[in-house]
Structure 1
Amino acid sequence: MSFYDRMEELYGLPAYTFPAREATTTLPAPDTVAWRINGQPDAVVWRSTVGEPLPEEECWDEALDRFCAEVDTTRVRALIVGSWDDPLDMDPSRAIEALLAARDRLPALRSLFLGDIVAEECEISMISQTDVTPLLAGFPALEEFGVRAGESNSMGRVQRLEFPALRHDALRRLTVQSGGLPVDVVRGVGASELPALEHLDLWLGVSEYGGDCAVADLEPILYGDRFPRLRHLALRNSEIQDEIAVALASAPVVARLEVLDLSMGTLGDDGAAALLAGQPLTHLKKLDLHHNFLSEPFRQRICETLGNAGVEVDVDRGEAELDDDGADERYVSVAE
């Protein structure tokens, strides 16, 4: 899986890219779309060397300023932060500061995604990131938050995602997309107090790109009392997918879930056997295992056991094909 296309929706609203400076497009009503705001790499390079951007280019914070001037931001419900000028060499600190400075002008904002960056702009593994929790602290009414993250080492400074533990009373949906999620982020999420959280989606990734968490680091999430309203749990895109499945076979959190998602990773027969032998999963509305390395007998067993009980089951292998010679070459959907 590669990010060739930008997000199509957020908060149930179609994504709409705020036009470039010279455009004469008629804008939609502020509360009918999820607004995507992009910066332009040439602008930040020019400003850092000459002191001002090229006439036709603007940095992300300048684009936000223009957005606030041209749109009734008191009605804006969803924002998508696209490329913040140069995501390979710069983290989004300036974009975050600009959003926080504009928070009084965004009283209706309920959903925010940071980093809708496609492969032609920057590979996910190289997206520079930083501590994103000031956005949650600054927008206490936010209901959805998502971030796409990698790791960059620019000028000797590592720029990776940080998520120290916090409390947020309104957040219902948290998504972290990564080809290698740092263990400190997993621990920070697990230690956070999110009493309204219903949907948690973590892309754990691989160790080669910084995904260094172990099953033990997931225990606060698996135990079940940290997020009392959790109904949708996705621990996916992981090279330890079998180990996660084994842990979930007896994890207390499963009993309250409606959707369990272990897709996009290296799930094989050992993980499937654990799920089938563990606690009942027939209460689920959906079990998502797409992109897997299951043998045909286990795929059939899962479909028969759960599908016949009314659970929607996705065991499509997609691109995750088993080698003809039986070699166990597994890979996650999103890494580099």
Structure 2
Amino acid sequence: MKTFLPRLEASPVRCVLLPAVSGLLMTPALAVESASAAGPAGAPGILMALLVAFLLSAVIVKGLVLWSHKQEHRQEMMMFCMKSLVHSSTDAERADSARALGKARDAGALLTLANLTWNEEEPEMVRQAAGEALDEMARRVRKYARLIPDLKSAAEQRDFRRIIELITVNFERDAQKHVQSAYILGRHYMRLGRYADARDWFERSESRNRKFNLYGNRIRRRIVECNALLLEEADNMFRTGDYQGARQHYAALSHGLSAADRRQWAVYLRSACVYCKLLDYRAADAALQQAIDHQQKTDLVLTLKPLLEAILGRADTAGSPAKAPAELIERAIDERASAIMETLRGQQRTGRRA
């Protein structure tokens, strides 16, 4: 059931309204008590006091209802402007929506405008309108009078860490979490090259976006972009010999990808190759088994698995005769892991699905 009672705790006049309403509600009881003490002679005056009290109560309730409707209208207009900024295809309309948001007092409006000013992909007209709207909001809203200039200064200096700090302190420590703040944090972690952190914040933003779909599928595209950059970074670590770093990146990827992406990018097979370089053959064999279970590049898996079974067979039965020296098997595993990774990187570059 929808209620029209306003949130008095958010009203700047709550200190006046709450005592006034309380006093008016107590007036009938006080009037009755006075009537019993004054006797019949005081009845007309008491009746007049009761009438005045009821009339004032009606006026205040009517005012509160009208104030509530006005607040709801402002909220609806703000949501309309934010959606128009995201989904409108006309730059002039988006600039007008940005200017309209400058009249709001809501944190979501501030974050939406700030994100526009920092987005290099936005047209200059829209970014300029968003900047002007932020300046107006800083003049009108006392609690943002210092925060907005601090954010704009950090943006001008391209101090992404400072922006992350300001957004986290001011918008991520309250009970109310904003989809825009998580999205902004994700974008700035991307600018810092911290793609795992960026993906984490985009995933939070996507979860919050379900309540009120402000960004559509834009957040999902950012998550996919982070995954691709993480994969590229991990492959480069493997190529340069940073196998521990590559192992950590592949592990993070395996927990953040869909089943289809894990199959396409063969994350478990890549992990197996890293473990081979680290000489952790049992972990490599376990990763290969996961690759088989998830149908990841089975043809490549089968070129490495016999070699791992051979080296593990030698480790399990140390007294049994060997078909080949351990050094030769280890060298073959190392070469095979490098060859598989080179094949996977080539497939990734060409965008083929094996």
| TM-score, scaled relative to structure 1 | 0.29
Structure with the greater relative contact order (CA < 8 A, sep ≥ 6): 1 or 2?
1
Which structure dedicates a bigger proportion of its chain to strand? 1
TM-score by length of 2: 0.28
* Larger helix proportion of the pair: 2
